[in-house]
Amino acid sequence: MRFGVVTFPGSNGDHDALSAIELGLQQEVAPVWHKDRSVDGFDALIIPGGFSYGDYLRAGAIARFSPIMEAVTDFAQQGGPILGICNGFQVLAEAGLAPGVLLRNANLSFSCRWVHTRVETGRTAFSNGLQPGTVLRLPIAHGEGRFFVTPEELAHLEERQQIVFRYCDEYGNDDPLANPNGSTDSIAGVCNERGNVVALMPHPERAYDPLLGGDEGLQILGAVLRSGVEAAVGR
C-alpha cells in the first residue's frame, strides 16, 4: 500500500508520519508538497500535524486553500482513506471534509503530554478491526484542539456513528479530568459520514515505537491496511 503525506509550509509532523509508515508499518510512503495538484498513485493520504502557514487567521484556514486540497477533496469524495492528525484535523475541518470546528483549548494553554483515548467505532478506514472500548495511549501537542459542535450536531454525529475516539482515563472510563482541552463530549476524533476520512487530535504517528514512549499508534495507522485497499479499489 502506498501512502502520501501532504506537507504544508509549517508542517512539523510530516517526518514523523513518513517514519511511522516506513518503519512502523513497513509500507511505501512519499511526501506530497502543498503546491502539487495530484495525488495519483497513492492508496491513502495523511494530513500531518504542525502549524500550516503559521496558523495565521485560524489553524488550518489558509492550508485549506492550498492547490493540493482540490486533489485531496476529490480523493475523499471517491472514497480514498484520509487521516488528518492535529493540524491535519484542523485543515480537514476547514475544508468541510471533517465535521466540527477546533477552538482554543479551554485553559488557553498549549498542551503537550500523553493521554488515553477510547475507540468508539470500528467502522472507519482508520479504526477498522479495533474493538469499541479499546483504550490507546497517545501523545497530544496542540493549542487549538477543543472540538466543538452544537447539541444538534452532536446528536447527528452520534446517530451516524461519526465519533471515532474519545478522551478517557487509563481504564477507559469517562472522566472530565481526562479531557485535555475541553472538547465537546470529550471527543478526540471523528469521521465523515462515509467513514473514509478520519480526523483526530492525538498523534498516532508519534507512537509507533516503544523507544518513543509507546507503539499503540500503529493500531490506528495499521487499520487502513485492513480497510484502505478496499476503499481505494472502490474509488
Q: Which residues are catalytic?
A: 86, 203, 205
More confident residue, 186 or 229: 186
Residues linked to residue 198 through DSSP beta bridges, in sequence order = 83, 191
| Of 72, 58, 76, 56, nearest in space to 7 by CA | 72
Q: How do residues 23-43 score in pLDDT, each as one tens digit?
A: 999 999 999 999 999 999 999
Q: How do residues 168-190 score in pLDDT, each as one tens digit?
A: 999 999 999 999 999 999 999 99
Percent of the chain with pLDDT over 90: 92
Which residue range forms the structural domain that includes residue 178? 2-233
pLDDT of residue 232: 40
What is the biggest distance separating any 2 CA atoms in the chain, rounded to whole angstroms? Answer: 44
More confident residue, 229 or 11: 11
User: Over the chain, what is the mean pLDDT?
Assistant: 94
How many folded domains does the chain comprise? 1
For residue 108, how many other CB atoms are within 10 A of its CB?
A: 8
Give the C-alpha separation, 173 to 169, whole Å.
5
Q: For residue 154, what is the domain's CATH number?
A: 3.40.50.880
pLDDT of residue 229: 43
Average pLDDT over residues 83-91: 97
Burial class (CB in 10 A: 0-12, 13-18, 19+), 39: buried
Q: Which helix (H) or strand (E) holds 159?
A: helix 151-159
Percent of the chain with pLDDT over 70: 96
Band (57; pLDDT cuts 50, 70, 90): confident
E strand map for 34-178 = 44-47, 82-85, 101-103, 111-119, 135-142, 146-148, 163-168
